[in-house]
């Protein structure tokens, strides 16, 4: 039995509806799926229902963009309550930040004499957590660029003329939020962020696991993180980071995480929930957005 624990849907920058994610996952023979949209868990209810109907297991997930010591890193949350009030309030705030960033990127494009309206991007994105891939798609739809790659290369990549820095929460606040909502916090694709030396500190601050298996990790990279997870005594997770058709070909099926790791994740979530219940209604952490 295998799992893919890192998948995006139409509720952020993926192209599949949650039901399509599940249908694709079923085709590939997965026993377990997790949906991990950026800054929203909105798709989880539909994905859970589709998984139940298909006889598959579903784990609610989310991917938060965080920052530690000036480095961007992504924190995955798993097994939390998707209707948790604090989680909903905070993700709504992150979504507002994303929408504002789209407006600023469009303003920069307009300054470069590229005619594009923010509303066109929002209409195309049709979700509360829009991102750069939606701007890229709007640029292709408007005939300004011939491909998503060209849109990123010319305008949207870091330090290109229409790039706007993204405001992020601290990794500690992201992990705290996930724990409060009853979930486990996992560092996404560390091989892409070059944050190895920070991982022991992140574990001390509450990190529960490392995404060792990822489409963009080489075998050697996965091995390095497996050893690190073992050494630090944290969970091992893995996923394709499939965005449907948004990043070329659908990646679902490229990573097959053995079920053993899902069992360990579920055990950790149960522990977190027991602790959360014991401490009762903990006061909400003050989560501050900072550049």
Distance of CA 109 to the CA centre of its chain: 26
Q: What backbone torsions phi and psi does residue 289 show, to the nearest 5 degrees? A: -85, 135
- To the nearest whole angstrom, how small is the minimum distance from the Cβ of residue 247 to Zn ion? 10
> Which class for 1: exposed (0-12), middle (13-18), buried (19 or more C-beta within 10 A)?
middle
Q: Left if phi > 0, otherwise alpha if psi is -120 to 50, otherwise beta: which for 182?
A: left
Which CB sits closer to Zn ion, 215 or 264?
Answer: 215
Closest CA to 155 of 113, 202, 96: 113
Q: Which residue is nearest to Zn ion (CB)?
A: 74
- To the nearest whole angstrom, how small is the minimum distance from the Cβ of residue 152 to Zn ion? 15
- To the nearest whole angstrom, how small is the minimum distance from the Cβ of residue 119 to Zn ion? 26
C-alpha distance from residue 13 to each of 18, 186, 284 (Å): 12, 20, 29
Which CB sits closer to Zn ion, 63 or 67?
Answer: 63
Which CB sits closer to Zn ion, 74 or 101?
Answer: 74
- Two tokens at 262? 């899902």
Which CB sits closer to Zn ion, 74 or 137?
Answer: 74
Which residues contact residue 195 at a Cβ distance below 8 angstroms, ignoring those fewer than 6 apart? 68, 71, 73, 187, 202
Instruction: Point out which residues bind Zn ion (CB under 5 A).
Output: 63, 74, 188, 241
Which CB sits closer to Zn ion, 57 or 241?
Answer: 241
- To the nearest whole angstrom, how small is the minimum distance from the Cβ of residue 14 to Zn ion? 9
- To the nearest whole angstrom, how small is the minimum distance from the Cβ of residue 146 to Zn ion? 26
- To the nearest whole angstrom, how small is the minimum distance from the Cβ of residue 8 to Zn ion? 6
Euclidean distance between CA atoms 181 and 136, whole angstroms: 33
Which CB sits closer to Zn ion, 73 or 181?
Answer: 73
Euclidean distance between CA atoms 114 and 161, whole angstroms: 11
């Amino acid at each position: 039995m295998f799992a893919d624990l890192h998948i995006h849907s139409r509720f952020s920058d993926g192209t599949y509806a949650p039901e399509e994610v599940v249908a694709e996952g079923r085709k590939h023979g997965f026993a377990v799926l997790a949906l991990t949209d950026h800054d929203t868990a909105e798709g989880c209810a539909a994905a859970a229902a589709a998984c139940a109907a298909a006889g598959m297991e579903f784990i609610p997930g989310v991917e938060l963009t965080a920052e530690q010591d000036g480095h961007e890193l992504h924190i995955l949350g798993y097994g939390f309550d998707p209707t948790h009030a604090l989680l909903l309030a905070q993700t709504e705030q992150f979504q507002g930040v994303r929408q504002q960033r789209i407006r600023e990127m469009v303003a920069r494009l307009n300054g470069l004499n590229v005619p594009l309206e923010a509303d066109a991007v929002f209409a195309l994105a049709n979700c509360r957590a829009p991102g750069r891939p939606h701007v890229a798609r709007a640029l292709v739809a408007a005939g300004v660029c011939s491909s998503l790659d060209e849109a990123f290369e010319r305008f949207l990549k870091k330090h290109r003329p229409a790039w706007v820095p993204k405001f992020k929460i601290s990794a500690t606040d992201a992990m705290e939020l996930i724990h409060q909502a009853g979930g486990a916090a996992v560092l996404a694709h560390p091989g892409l962020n070059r944050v190895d030396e920070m991982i022991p500190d992140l574990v001390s601050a509450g990190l529960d696991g490392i995404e060792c298996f990822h489409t963009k990790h080489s075998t050697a990279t996965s091995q390095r993180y497996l050893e690190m997870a073992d050494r630090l005594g944290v969970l091992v997770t893995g996923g394709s980071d499939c965005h449907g058709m948004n990043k070329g070909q659908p990646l679902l099926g490229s990573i097959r995480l053995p079920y053993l790791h899902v069992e360990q994740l579920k055990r950790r979530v149960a522990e977190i929930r027991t602790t959360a219940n014991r401490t009762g209604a903990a006061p909400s952490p003050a989560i501050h957005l900072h550049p």
